[in-house]
């Protein structure tokens, strides 16, 4: 399997060479290099010369007729495929394509005349329209403009290809839908993520970067924690082709499983907004609560009065001098954020955290390792915890800029603060022992990638194969071995003994 780094840009409107320059700049920066670039939607340009890309780039069009004239001179209507400028390839309107590294891409122009995509799983699906059912089972769906095209043909393409990533352009909107699973897929545990990007250089997020294993034949048994119901289940039947296959009238959109008509805006005139249903995790079923009879006790390495240390499942980093280097600090009370700790516990938890950090500093410091700690505090979270990763001191240089760049690339505002926010939802990272924090404030109810901190570290440390913790899951025997190694090394410094 090849681990590829993919860059996706929103639709371009008359500034193609500017887009190419931007792509080249990102590709050649510390964020790169990237394996390929995907450009969404129709390329609109009146330029008579197209500059060269420094990385392979691919795009599609609704039809050959909608190609810019400068491209029509490079490919024939009969072929409807080919390189139109150095490193930039036109894929066509509807079909499948495999890049050299084995990554499979399907694409759909939205027209019935182009036929169907050959069924079979793909890594990435590109479409010009939204599938009609995509907003179902989603509590974070944006309010879509009336001119957003919804296509039953694209819905069918999703069912036929069960893509791991599905991208579509949407002017003025960025939306990363929570993932959904295909329970009867082959291979099993296949998950789809749908992302809509604003037009290139738009006000909302217009580019997306991610890592993907091409030709992946097995997927982690544990699905993402934020899965929603699959909006396409029970839609294995082909839609009647005699019906209209596209609609720009949101009030007349049929879902892919032929539910009754309804508008996409879930807050209809005269009706109260639907209440969000939050899944409650009680202490007896929380993986971080010691009262849970199913807690993985082989991962617990030290217990204080109000908190404890544990090793994570699927650690980002492994052993250094035979000692685990990825640790979790967890308060004993079952609360979603550190700020919501009971008053009688707050000061004790903070003191124990300082003691643990000082003790681990004595353990790892002589080995030229320094801590990077990060946490997500959300009022709708499950159980507060801090992830602590000890990395080589010579690799911490430029890590601050790596976090700032990654935040900017994801359309997030990260600021330097002297203190952790006292309230609200936020992501925070602390580098080494510096008395400053990098903070991203998270709007209530908005999406935030729970793996953001891990992704930045994995990229910076060049261990992209360990980006997904599920792909790094250990057996109980391995977990027990790692736990014993840490306890043995930490015992002389453990203030709880």
Mind listing the pLDDT tens digit for each residue in 20-33? Answer: 999 999 999 878 89
pLDDT at 260 (0 to 100): 29
Q: Are residues 84 and 144 in the same domain?
A: yes
Mean pLDDT, rounded, for 303-315:
95
Q: Are residues 128 and 13 in the same domain?
A: yes
Contact 218, 28 (CB under 8 A): no
Tokens of 257: 């499983």
Tokens of 249: 């009238």
pLDDT tens for 181-231 read 998 776 677 899 999 999 999 988 999 998 888 877 666 656 676 788 999
Distance CA 68, CA 64 (A): 9
DSSP state of 253: P
pLDDT tens for 460-489 read 888 877 877 877 888 889 999 999 999 999
Q: Collapsing DSSP states into helix, strand and coil, what is residue 31? A: coil
Q: Collapsing DSSP states into helix, strand and coil, what is residue 404? A: helix
Contact 147, 251 (CB under 8 A): no
Mean pLDDT, rounded, for 301-317:
95
pLDDT at 222 (0 to 100): 61
**267 in a structural domain:** no
Contacting residues for 10 by C-beta, under 8 A, at least 6 apart: 40, 41, 169, 197, 198, 199, 200, 202, 206, 207
pLDDT at 406 (0 to 100): 84
Give the other-Cβ count within 10 Å of 438's Cβ: 20
Residue 315 phi, psi (nearest 5): -60, 145
Average pLDDT, the chain: 84
Matching residue, tokens 């930039």: 88
pLDDT at 341 (0 to 100): 93
Contact 128, 62 (CB under 8 A): yes
Contact 12, 43 (CB under 8 A): yes
State the total domains in the chain.
2
pLDDT tens for 424-444 read 999 999 997 667 899 999 988
Q: Collapsing DSSP states into helix, strand and coil, what is residue 364? A: helix
**305 in a structural domain:** yes
Query: Roughly how many angstroms between the first and final C-alpha of the chain, as a whole number?
Result: 46
Number of continuous H segments (helices) and E segments (strands) in the chain: 7, 26
Mean pLDDT, rounded, for 435-456:
86
DSSP state of 379: T
**313 in a structural domain:** yes
pLDDT at 261 (0 to 100): 29
**119 in a structural domain:** yes
Q: 263, 239, 267: which is closest to 249 by C-alpha?
A: 263
Percent of the chain with pLDDT over 70: 87
Q: Are residues 225 and 332 in the same domain?
A: no
pLDDT at 320 (0 to 100): 92
Q: Are residues 190 and 327 in the same domain?
A: no
Matching residue, tokens 């007729």: 65
Contact 110, 155 (CB under 8 A): no
Q: How confident is the model at residue 80 (pLDDT cuts 50, 70, 90)?
A: confident
Q: Are residues 179 and 299 in the same domain?
A: no
Distance CA 83, CA 160 (A): 28
**272 in a structural domain:** no
pLDDT at 359 (0 to 100): 96
The parent domain of residue 200 ranges over 2-252
Q: How confident is the model at residue 125 (pLDDT cuts 50, 70, 90)?
A: very high
Matching residue, tokens 């399907």: 106
Of 321-335, 353-367, 368-382, 421-435, which range is least confident? 421-435
Q: With b meaning 16 or more CB within 10 Å and e meaning fewer, what string describes 84-121?
A: bbebbbbbbbbbbbebeeebbbbbbbbbeebeebeeeb
CATH value at residue 189: 3.60.21
Q: Are residues 200 and 311 in the same domain?
A: no
Instruction: Reply yes or no on whether the pLDDT at 368 is more than 90.
Output: yes
DSSP state of 13: B
- For residue 152, give Cα distances in angstroms to 125, 156, 172, 255, 285: 15, 6, 23, 8, 40
Distance CA 433, CA 372 (A): 9
Distance CA 9, CA 34 (A): 13
The number of C-alpha atoms within 13 Å of 169 and in the hemisphere containing its C-beta is 26
**191 in a structural domain:** yes
Distance CA 416, CA 404 (A): 10
Of 10-14, 258-262, 350-354, 451-455, which range is least confident? 258-262
Q: Are residues 211 and 348 in the same domain?
A: no
User: Taken in order 23, 195, 177, 465, is the CA torsion positive or negative?
Assistant: negative
Mean pLDDT, rounded, for 115-131:
91
Q: pLDDT: is 142 or 433 the higher one?
A: 142
Q: With b meaning 16 or more CB within 10 Å and e meaning fewer, what string describes 328-365?
A: bbbbbbbbbbbbebeeebbebbeebbebbbebbbebbe
pLDDT at 238 (0 to 100): 38
pLDDT tens for 244-274 read 333 333 322 222 333 222 232 333 333 333 3
Q: Are residues 244 and 373 in the same domain?
A: no
pLDDT at 451 (0 to 100): 85
Q: Are residues 235 and 289 in the same domain?
A: no
**271 in a structural domain:** no
Rg, the chain, Cα only: 24
pLDDT at 220 (0 to 100): 62
Q: Are residues 287 and 248 in the same domain?
A: no
pLDDT at 154 (0 to 100): 94
DSSP state of 44: B
Residue 60 phi, psi (nearest 5): -125, 175
Q: 331, 406, 408, 420: which is closest to 374 by C-alpha?
A: 420
């Amino acid at each position: 399997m090849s681990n590829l780094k993919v860059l996706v840009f929103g639709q371009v409107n008359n500034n193609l060479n500017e887009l190419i320059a931007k792509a080249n700049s990102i590709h050649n920066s510390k964020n790169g290099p990237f394996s390929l670039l995907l450009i969404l939607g129709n390329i609109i340009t009146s330029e008579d010369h197209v500059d060269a890309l420094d990385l392979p780039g691919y795009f599609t069009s609704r039809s050959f007729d909608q190609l810019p004239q400068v491209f029509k001179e490079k490919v024939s209507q009969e072929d409807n495929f080919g390189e139109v400028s150095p490193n930039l390839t036109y894929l066509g309107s509807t079909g499948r394509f495999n890049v050299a590294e084995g990554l499979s891409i399907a694409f759909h122009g939205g027209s019935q005349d182009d036929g169907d995509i050959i069924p079979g799983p793909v890594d990435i699906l590109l479409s010009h329209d939204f599938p009609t059912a995509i907003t179902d089972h989603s509590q974070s769906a944006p309010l879509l403009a009336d001119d957003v095209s919804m296509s039953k043909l694209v819905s069918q393409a999703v069912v036929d290809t069960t893509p791991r990533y599905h991208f579509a352009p949407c002017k003025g909107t960025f939306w990363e839908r929570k993932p959904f699973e295909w329970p009867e897929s082959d291979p099993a545990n296949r998950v789809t993520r749908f992302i809509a990007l604003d037009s290139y250089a738009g006000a909302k997020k217009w580019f997306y970067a991610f890592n993907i294993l091409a030709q992946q034949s097995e997927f982690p048994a544990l699905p993402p924690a934020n899965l929603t119901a699959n909006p396409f289940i029970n839609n294995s039947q082909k839609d009647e082709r005699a019906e209209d296959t596209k609609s720009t009238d949101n009030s007349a959109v049929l879902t892919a499983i032929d539910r009754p008509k309804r508008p996409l805006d879930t807050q209809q005139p005269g009706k109260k907004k639907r209440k969000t249903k939050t899944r409650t995790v009680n202490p007896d079923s929380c993986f971080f609560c010691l009262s849970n009879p199913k807690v993985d006790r082989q991962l617990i390495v030290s217990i204080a009065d109000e908190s404890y240390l544990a090793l994570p499942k699927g650690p980002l980093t492994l052993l250094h001098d035979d000692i685990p280097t990825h640790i979790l600090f967890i308060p004993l009370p079952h609360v979603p954020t550190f700020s919501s700790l009971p008053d009688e516990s707050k000061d004790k938890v903070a003191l124990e955290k300082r003691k643990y950090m000082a003790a681990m500093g004595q353990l790892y410091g002589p080995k030229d390792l320094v801590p990077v700690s990060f946490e997500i505090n959300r009022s709708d979270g499950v159980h507060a915890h801090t992830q602590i990763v000890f990395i080589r001191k010579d690799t911490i240089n430029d890590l601050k800029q790596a976090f700032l760049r990654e935040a900017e690339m994801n359309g997030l505002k990260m600021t330097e603060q002297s203190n952790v926010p006292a309230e609200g939802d936020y992501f925070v990272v602390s580098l080494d022992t510096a008395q400053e924090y990098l903070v991203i404030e998270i709007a209530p109810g908005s999406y935030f990638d729970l793996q953001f901190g891990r992704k930045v570290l994995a990229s910076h440390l060049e261990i992209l194969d360990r980006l997904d913790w599920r792909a790094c899951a250990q057996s109980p025997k391995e977990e027990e071995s790692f736990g014993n190694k840490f306890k043995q090394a930490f015992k002389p410094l453990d203030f709880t003994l």
